[in-house]
Amino acid sequence: MPDELRFGRLTVALSNTDKIFFPAEGITKGEVVGYYHEIAGQMMPYLRGRPIAMARYPDGIDGERIFQKNVPGYFPGWVRTAEVSKQGGTVRHVVCDNAATLVYLANQGCIELHVFGSRTDRIDRPDQVVFDLDPAGARGFPLACRTALALRELLEGKLGCTAYVRTTGGKGLHVHVPLDRRAGFDAVRAFARAVAQRLEDASPQELTTAQRKDARSGRLFIDIMRNAYAQTVVAPYAVRARPGAPVATPLHWDELTDDALTPDRFTLRTISKRLGDGADPWAGFWGNRYDLRRAQSVLDELAGA
């Protein structure tokens, strides 16, 4: 690994690249930096314009986790930032708009990047709705796949919204629908709640929308709270700070019926082959922008039928 990486007029100095970040696999900080350097082109459309929260692990995944929203004072001036309102004040977030910033963050021990569901130019208007399908354990992943397919049938088959699915790098799946930014967070979250409730009503023994863990009774949790203002979700193609270095990976829908698919199938060391072998499953994501009011109207009609 070189001592620095150049991005046009910008230079990012690298440090301690031999430090072990993932002990079981022997993955170094340099490998993490190198991954983000190589994946920047695929990641940037999902990062650009969005405030982020940094999950930093300066001593690797077995060390302290620092979940950081405020930009440290020592960050260079060329790193773009944005001030975001919160209850009782503001927070100044990093906005990762270029590969140099992405590599700089990785060199700061930022393994995971978590992004807002809105962009800085209209921070109060989300441009996507997210359903987090969280199974009770690793054995629940097949249920997450079946639930995602049922969710797709509702979103696309009945509500007319193209949906996109991905692994989270954890134990479940995320399903996203891009929006036209006309609706605010309250309306988007209300829509997500109504969709999730419809799924739960159809399969109450397997699915739940209960926030409290002790009320879920081993059922898959359909979490819609990522659709609240200033909530974040792990970015597509971000590495997770878990053994194996799994990557949150966009999927083709037909992959959900493949028995070989597991939550951690794609990792820092394996995903490059996937990206080189086929088309981007989310290639049309930014070309589809849906008016939530229309989908909500159809959902209301279904509820009253």
Cα(266)–Cα(255) distance, rounded to whole angstroms? 13
Inter-residue contact 208 to 222 (CB < 8 Å)? yes
- The pTM assigned to this predicted structure is 0.96
Q: At what angle do helices 292-304 and 185-202 cross, to 10 degrees?
A: 40
- In the predicted structure, residue 138 carries a pLDDT above the cut 70: no
Task: Please tell me if the domain spanning 1-116 has the same topology as the one spanning 121-305.
Answer: yes
| 221-267 pLDDT, tens digit each | 999 999 999 999 999 999 999 999 999 999 999 999 999 999 999 99
- In the predicted structure, residue 193 carries a pLDDT above the cut 90: yes
CATH of domain 121-305: 3.90.920.10
For residue 250, what are the CA distances in angstroms to 37, 55, 242, 265, 279? 19, 21, 18, 12, 11
1-116: which CATH architecture? Answer: Alpha-Beta Complex (3.90)
Any idea where the domains of the chain sit in the sequence?
1-116, 121-305
| 24-78 pLDDT, tens digit each | 999 999 999 999 999 999 999 999 999 999 999 999 999 999 999 999 999 999 9
- Residue 243 tokens read as 């053994």
Distance from chain centroid for Cα 186: 20
| Average predicted confidence (pLDDT) for the chain | 95
Q: How confident is the model at residue 137 (pLDDT cuts 50, 70, 90)?
A: confident
Q: How confident is the model at residue 305 (pLDDT cuts 50, 70, 90)?
A: low
| 71-94 pLDDT, tens digit each | 999 999 999 999 999 989 999 999
Distance from chain centroid for Cα 238: 8
End-to-end CA separation in angstroms for the chain? 62
